[in-house]
């Protein structure tokens, strides 16, 4: 039973940390906000937990690699090319990518690394151009 409680706490933490990054994006008026990044982080965490806990003898790193690839497609959808030759949405795409990485870290039980990554990402996002 305690193992399930820890897994639930991992999922909650992943959603909260992703949501923190999403809150910054929402405050900046960007399209991907709290719900989006919380769900991306949560999804990454659940896939990581299930792959490591649910399939004994498997290689959980394969799921992490799949998450990174899949999130790349979601991030690519956030990037728009302007007629003027510029790019819009790159920071949102990278925020999606880092939220997935944070979810993977939490799902793997690397809580301090996930927390540090969240703090670093927020610091970078709060730096003005």
How many domains does the chain contain in total? Answer: 1
- Please state, in angstroms and rounded to a whole number, the distance separating the CA atoms of residues 33 and 124: 17
Cβ 93 vs Cβ 75: under 8 Å = yes
pLDDT of residue 102: 98
Give the bridge partners for 88, in sequence order: 80
CA distances (Å), origin 106, targets 14, 35, 91, 129: 6, 18, 22, 30
Residue 109: Cβ-neighbour burial (10 angstroms; 0-12, 13-18, 19+) = middle
Domain that holds residue 10: 2-126
Ranking 48-52, 55-59, 116-120 by mean pLDDT, the lowest is 55-59
pLDDT at 107 (0 to 100): 95
Q: Confidence band (pLDDT; 50, 70, 90) for 82?
A: low
Work out the average pLDDT over 35-44.
Answer: 96
pLDDT digits (tens, 9 = 90+) for 52-72: 887 777 787 888 888 988 888
């Amino acid at each position: 039973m305690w193992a399930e409680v820890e897994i639930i706490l991992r999922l909650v933490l992943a959603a909260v940390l992703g949501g923190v990054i999403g809150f910054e994006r929402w405050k900046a008026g960007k399209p991907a906000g709290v719900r989006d990044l919380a769900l991306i982080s949560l999804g990454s965490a659940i896939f990581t937990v299930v792959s490591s806990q649910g399939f004994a003898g498997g290689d959980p790193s394969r799921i992490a690699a799949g998450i990174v690839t899949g999130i790349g497609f979601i991030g690519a959808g956030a990037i728009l090319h302007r007629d003027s030759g510029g790019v819009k949405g790159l920071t949102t795409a990278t925020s999606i990518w880092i939220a997935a990485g944070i979810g993977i870290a939490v799902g793997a039980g690397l809580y301090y690394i996930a927390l540090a990554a969240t703090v670093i990402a927020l610091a970078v996002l709060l730096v003005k151009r």
